[in-house]
Every structure is written in C-alpha cells, then in structure tokens.
Amino acid sequence: MGSCQSQEAQEQLARNKAIEKQLNQDKRTGSSIVKLLLLGAGECGKSTVLKQMQILHSNGFTEDEINERKAVVYNNTVTSMYAILKAMDNIVHIPLEDPSKESEKQIVFRIVEAGDESEPFTDELAKALVSLWNDKNVQKAADMRSEYQLNDSAKYFLNSVMRIHEPGYRPTEQDILFSRVATTGVVEVKFKIKELDFRVFDVGGQRSERRKWIHCFDNVESIIFITAVSEYDQVLFEDETTNRMIESMQLFSSICNSTWFLSTAIILFLNKKDLFAEKIQRVNITTAFPDYEGKIQVIKASY
C-alpha cells in the first residue's frame, strides 16, 4: 500500500509542476484560452463540480479513470461504515439495536485495520455491511454526522453495497460523482464550448493545500467559488473547532479582497442544496447561526 501511495504522490507532483509550467508560459504569451479556477473550503464539492463539467463538456471518463475509481468506491463504502461504527462507540454513544451484529462490526474493523478497505468486497464483508446498514441505530448515527466526520456519499454507497459487490462491477457516472478523494495539488480539465477553449483548475480546499496555489492563478478570467449550504452545522476535517460555513464565508471574503484577484470575475456557487433541503427538516439553522430569524423553509432559508 505504501509504495502505491508514494507513486501516486510522485505522479501528482509531476502533474502539478507541468500545470504550473504551462500557467507561467500562458502569462508570457498572453494565451487566449479561458481559464477558470474552482475555489472553496475542504469538502464543499469542488471536485464533483469539476467531474460534472468533464461529463457535460468533455468526453466523460476514460476506461482507465473508471477502473481507477473502483478502489475509491470500495474505500468510501467501507470507511463510511467504519466511521459510523467508531462514532457510535466514542462520540454519539449509541449501541447497535441488534447486539448479535457485534461480530459483523468486527469484520469491518478488521478490514480497515488491515488496510484492505480499498479492495473488492469479500462475500463476508458485503453481507456484514448490508446487515449493519439495516440496523436502525446505525442509520440513526449516520443522521448525526454533524457530530463527527462522515462523507456526504455514505448513504448512497451503503445503499448500493450488493450492486458494488457484483462480479464485473463497473462504476457508473453517478458512482464517480459521489466518490470522494481529498484533492491535493492541482487537477485540470480541458474542454471546448463552441469556439472557446476552457481550462478549469480544481485545487485542494483544506487549509494546508490553499497556501500552495493562491499565487499561481492571478491571470485566471474567473473564479467559481463553491460553498456547501448543507454544512451549516458541521466542522472542518482539519480543525474540529471551526464551523465549515463560517470558514467558507471567511475564505470567500479573503478571496474577494485578495490583491491577486482584483480584476477577476467571481461567481458564487451554492452547492449541495439537496442535502440542505433534507437536513433543514431536522437540524434547525439556528444551531449554527443563533441570530437567524428567517423561516425554516428551503427557499426562504437559502436565499
């Protein structure tokens, strides 16, 4: 596993250097290509937006990209269940509704502790995941995700375990859109709309990543700033004392006032409205913003 991760890191570093070199060349030549930069705090959904652009305006995903996503889907599914079970033990303190499923819980723990969470499911693991997900208290703990770190896609993948376990499984476009890998460095997608060539850059949103990229993109035509409106009651992955919505607002303010982007158009993109619509029915927005006096309705609360 370690050598594989090291190789991936080296490949990512090489891609980053190639992109930076091209950006510097574009500055010198005054390239007419339209360059767009996706910005936002970690977990806001930038990579999903970029993948949607790739589906709509490029040629979608190559067979290599689809095959590479298998491991990500396996990983997201298993680690989501693992995160829920750990939270049940240590954070939300909810026992399994059916104590006899303790053995199935240990199957998940063994897989993760062995580092095999990115491997295809064994029959034993698939059955354990389905059985655990059917436990009402596991689903209750999943609904309490604002109290710990859990992927937005957890329910989607845990509802799809047996499909993912089928022989010859091939990730669908929806699977790829829901799959989650933290962005490190810079990811680029190129496409053409009519006569215009676009280059769209996605950069890591977590704090440790932001410092690396801000100076590289002062010549972009537009910034698409993405914020997840559903995250009003969640905290950062890298700092569990900071509210994600507050972090996003502060980052947006710093981008708008940055000397690097004085002449850059900025588009605000409110993301994850579907999750917001579901969450606001059970989590009052005043839990994060006590001064809020608007109605607790999706349209009224989000605009």
- Measured from the Cβ of residue 193, the count of other Cβ atoms closer than 10 Å reads 10
Enzyme catalytic residues: 43, 48, 180, 202, 206
The answer to the question of whether 43 is labelled as a binding residue is: yes
The answer to the question of whether 152 is labelled as a binding residue is: yes
The answer to the question of whether 177 is labelled as a binding residue is: yes
Distance CA 184, CA 205 (A): 8
The answer to the question of whether 128 is labelled as a binding residue is: no
The answer to the question of whether 178 is labelled as a binding residue is: yes
The answer to the question of whether 153 is labelled as a binding residue is: yes
DSSP 158-201: HTTHHHHTSTT----HHHHHH------SEEEEEEEETTEEEEEE
Cross-strand pairs, 35: 199
The answer to the question of whether 44 is labelled as a binding residue is: yes
Q: How far, in whole angstroms, is CA 268 from its chain's centroid?
A: 18
Characterize the bridge pairing of strands 265-271 and 196-203. Answer: unpaired
Distance CA 257, CA 279 (A): 32
Q: CB neighbours of 146 closer than 8 A, spacing ≥ 6?
A: 233, 234, 235, 283
The answer to the question of whether 205 is labelled as a binding residue is: yes
The answer to the question of whether 256 is labelled as a binding residue is: no
The answer to the question of whether 279 is labelled as a binding residue is: no
The answer to the question of whether 182 is labelled as a binding residue is: yes
The answer to the question of whether 130 is labelled as a binding residue is: no
- Torsion sign, CA atoms 172, 175, 179, 185: positive
Under DSSP, the state recorded for 243 is B
Q: Which residues define the annotated binding site?
A: 43-48, 152-153, 177-183, 202-206, 271-274
Q: Which residues define the annotated binding site for GTP?
A: 43-48, 152-153, 177-183, 202-206, 271-274
Q: Which residues define the annotated binding site for Mg(2+)?
A: 47, 183
